Amino acid sequence: MSDAAQYRALVGDLLTWLRQNETPQGAWYWDEDPAPVVEPPAKEAVAPKAPAAPAATVSDAAPDSPDDDPFAAECEAFVAAAMERIGSHRAESEALPGLEETAPPADPASALDALRQEVLPCIACGLAETRKNVVFGSGSARAELMIVGEAPGRDEDIQGQPFVGRSGQLLTKILAAIGLRRDEVYIGNILKCRPPDNRDPLPPEVLACEPHLRRQLAIIRPRLICCLGRVAAQTLLRTSTSLTRLRGEVHFYGDIPVLATFHPAYLLRNPAAKRDAWNDVRMMKALMEALAAADPGRGA
Ligand code: SF4
Mean pLDDT (the chain) is 83
Indicate if 42 and 86 belong to the same structural domain.
no
231 lines ligand 1 (CB under 6 A): no
**51/76 same-domain check:** no
Q: Is residue 299 part of a domain?
A: no
Cα–Cα distance measured from residue 250 to residue 158, given in angstroms and rounded to the nearest whole number: 34
Q: Give 16-74 as a 3 state SS string.
A: HHHHHCCCCCCCCCCCCCCCCCCCCCCCCCCCCCCCCCCCCCHHHHCCCCHHHCCHHHH
DSSP string, 202-226: PHHHHHHHHHHHHHHHHHH--SEEE
Residue nearest to atom 3 of ligand 1 (CA): 209
Cβ(258) – ligand 1 distance below 6 Å: no
Determine the distance separating the centroid of ligand 1 and the alpha carbon of 193, expressed in angstroms. Answer: 6
Same domain, 144 and 171: yes
Residues 209, 98: one domain? yes
Here the CATH number for the domain that contains residue 258 is: 3.40.470.10
CA of 109 to the centre of ligand 1 (A): 22
Q: What is the pTM of this model?
A: 0.79
Strand partners, 256: 253
- Check whether residue 93 and residue 165 sit in a common domain: yes
Q: Is 221 in the pocket of ligand 1 (CB under 6 A)?
A: no
pLDDT in tens, 29-70: 555 544 334 444 444 444 444 444 444 443 344 444 555 677
Query: Is residue 146 in some structural domain?
Result: yes
The domain tally of the chain equals: 2
Pair 71, 49 in one domain:
no
Atom from ligand 1 closest to the CA of residue 123: 5
Domain that holds residue 33: 3-55
Clarify whether residues 286 and 226 are in a common domain.
yes
> CA angle, corner 165, sides to 253 and 126, nearest 5?
55
pLDDT at res. 23: 46
The verdict on residue 60 lying in a domain is no
- Count CA within 13 A, CB hemisphere, residue 265: 16
Name the domain boundary from 21, 36, 55. Answer: 55
Q: Examine residue 195 and state whether it is found in any structural domain, yes or no.
A: yes
Structural domain includes residue 281: yes
Same domain, 45 and 175: no
d(CA 103, CA 189): 24
Instruction: Say if 88 falls within a structural domain.
Output: yes
Q: Are residues 154 and 30 in the same domain?
A: no
- To test ligand 1's pocket by mutation, which of 115, 148, 194, 212 has the most ligand atoms within 8 angstroms of CB? 212
**pLDDT tens per residue across span 105-147:** 889 999 999 999 999 999 999 999 999 999 999 999 999 999 9
State yes or no: pLDDT of 253 exceeds 60: yes
Q: Give me the pLDDT at residue 31, please.
A: 55
Residues 25 and 149 in one domain: no
Tell me: do 233 and 151 sit in the same domain. Answer: yes
- For residues 164 and 196, membership in a common domain is answered with yes
Q: Which of 11, 31, 55 marks a domain boundary? A: 55
Phi, psi of 259 (to 5 degrees): -115, 160
